[in-house]
Amino acid sequence: MIRKPELLNQSDILSGLNTILDELGIDYEEDNNCFFMRCPIHDGNKRTAVTIYKNSGYWSCFTGDCSSKYGHSLFGFIRGCLTAKNTGQHPIYNGTVLAGYTSDFIRSLINVGTVAQKEPDYLKGRSIKDKKGQISIDHIRKRLIIPSRYYLERGFSAEVLDRFHVGDCWTKGKPLCGRSVFPI
Footprint on this chain of Zn ion (rule: CB under 5 A): 39, 41-42, 61, 64, 66
Q: Which of 33, 31, 10, 30 is nearest to 110 (CA)?
A: 10
CB of 42 to Zn ion, least distance (A): 4
Nearer to Zn ion, 49 or 166 (CB): 49
Distance CA 77, CA 21 (A): 11
Nearer to Zn ion, 64 or 183 (CB): 64
CB of 134 to Zn ion, least distance (A): 36
CB of 66 to Zn ion, least distance (A): 3
Alpha helix stretches (DSSP H) within 59-166: 66-70, 74-85, 99-109, 137-142, 149-152, 158-163
CB of 155 to Zn ion, least distance (A): 26
CB of 45 to Zn ion, least distance (A): 11
Nearer to Zn ion, 17 or 166 (CB): 17
- In the 8-state DSSP scheme, what is residue 3? P
Nearer to Zn ion, 5 or 64 (CB): 64
Cβ within 8 Å of residue 42, ≥6 positions away: 61, 63, 64, 66, 84
Distance CA 147, CA 134 (A): 22
Nearer to Zn ion, 42 or 141 (CB): 42
Q: How many CB atoms lie within 10 A of CB 11?
A: 15
